[in-house]
């Protein structure tokens, strides 16, 4: 059996389909039924689960079963490592691999800003007109979304994108999408906001694309943070505010690397201040 037929059969068995996997005609049909989009345009695209399908930890039959992707749920495509599997992120932040067959998953039309034009070089942190600033911020966020699922590494190299810690991710996406080079660590980034921007002490006052700075975790209750002088607290984490109570960041290997999270109560208690890089 040719290698490409074996791959198609593996993809079919991975989603629990036994019939037709052994024939060349069946394999050819599988290949033709895939979603039509080049891998270069997939990162950050949304997709809907058409029929319940397995999520695995590897893009192959040998991949360990993680969970079911339920019919009707929406996921984010991170990559397509083979012709028959997508690397995806669930709304809960779980990363894995699922069949790319259209009978199981269908790509949604790209949203505005999914494939932004290259950012023009900037000579200053101010983008000038309000519309220019908003467009630049969307480019930065789009750059960040393409790194969803990238592994976390404390003290990651600032010279590549194989892994990120929180401040490395922030620095990379502003440099890549807006030609702005921020300081290399979260404390220095926080100091830059205090000196070059207007600090915001309430999450409700933040704008999309603002940086958010946090102190160390002490617990899930408000009492755990009672009496703390936040003006003297040490910054230990940075994230990008997305609006609607969500943030883009990375903070541990166990959490799956770069991810989008809802700002929970504990994150709210830890929040120190935020501010705009582009304004």
Alpha-carbon distance of 237 to 115, in angstroms, equals 28
Contact 264, 219 (CB under 8 A): no
pLDDT category at 132 given cuts 50, 70, 90 is confident
Q: How confident is the model at residue 37 (pLDDT cuts 50, 70, 90)?
A: low
Helix (H) or strand (E) holding 175: helix 166-178
**Cα separation, 126 vs 249, whole angstroms:** 23
What pLDDT does 2 receive?
A: 45
| 6 token code pair | 């074996």
Closest CA to 118 of 173, 177, 175, 43: 177
pLDDT band at 40 (very low <50, low <70, confident <90, very high): low
Residue 41 confidence (pLDDT):
65
* Strands laid side by side in the 237-243 sheet: 259-262, 246-249, 237-243, 211-214, 271-275
Whether this prediction's pTM lies above 0.95 is answered by no
Band of the pLDDT at 12, cuts 50, 70, 90?
Answer: very low
What pLDDT sits at residue 5?
Answer: 41
Measured CA to CA in angstroms, residue 185 lies from 156, 202, 249, 270 at distances of 11, 22, 14, 18
Distance, CA of 56 to CA of 42 (rounded, Å): 19
Q: How far apart are CA 213 and CA 235, in angstroms?
A: 6
- Structure-token match 């899930």, residue found: 220
pLDDT at 59: 87
Q: At what angle do helices 24-32 and 3-14 cross, to 10 degrees?
A: 70
**Start and end residues for every CATH 2.30.30.40 domain found in the chain:** 3-107
Q: At residue 222, does pLDDT exceed 70?
A: yes
Domain covering 3-107, topology: SH3 type barrels. (2.30.30)
Task: Write out the CATH class of domain 130-275.
Answer: alpha beta
pLDDT tens across 44-87, in order?
Answer: 788 899 988 899 888 887 788 888 888 888 888 888 888 889 99
CATH 3.90.1720.10 location in the chain: 130-275
Find the range with the poorest average confidence among 37-46, 162-171, 261-270.
37-46
Q: What's the residue count for the chain?
A: 279
pLDDT tens, position by position, 177-190: 999 999 999 999 99
């Amino acid at each position: 059996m040719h290698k490409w037929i074996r791959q198609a059969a593996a993809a079919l068995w991975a989603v629990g389909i036994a019939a037709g996997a052994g024939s060349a005609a069946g394999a050819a049909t599988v290949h033709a039924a895939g979603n039509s989009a080049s891998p270069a345009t997939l990162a950050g695209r949304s997709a809907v689960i058409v029929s319940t399908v397995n999520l695995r930890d590897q893009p192959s039959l040998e991949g360990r079963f993680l969970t079911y992707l339920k019919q009707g749920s929406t996921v984010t495509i991170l990559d397509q490592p083979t012709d028959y599997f997508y690397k995806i992120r669930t709304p809960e932040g779980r990363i894995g691999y699922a069949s790319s067959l259209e009978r199981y998953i269908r790509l949604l039309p790209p949203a505005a800003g999914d494939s932004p034009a290259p950012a023009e070089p900037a000579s200053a942190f101010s983008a000038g007109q309000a519309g220019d600033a908003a467009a630049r911020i969307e480019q930065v966020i789009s750059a960040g979304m393409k790194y969803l699922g990238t592994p976390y590494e404390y003290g990651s190299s600032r010279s590549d994108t194989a892994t990120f810690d929180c401040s490395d991710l922030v620095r990379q996406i502003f440099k890549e999408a807006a030609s702005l080079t921020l300081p290399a660590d979260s404390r220095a980034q926080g100091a830059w906001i205090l000196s070059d921007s207007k600090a915001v002490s309430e999450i409700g006052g933040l704008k999309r694309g603002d940086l958010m700075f946090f102190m160390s975790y002490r617990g899930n209750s408000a009492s755990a943070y009672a009496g703390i002088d936040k003006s003297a607290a040490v910054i230990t984490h940075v994230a990008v505010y997305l609006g609607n109570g969500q943030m883009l960041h990375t903070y541990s290997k166990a959490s799956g690397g770069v991810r989008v999270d809802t700002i929970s109560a504990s994150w709210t208690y830890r929040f120190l201040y935020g501010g705009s890089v582009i304004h």
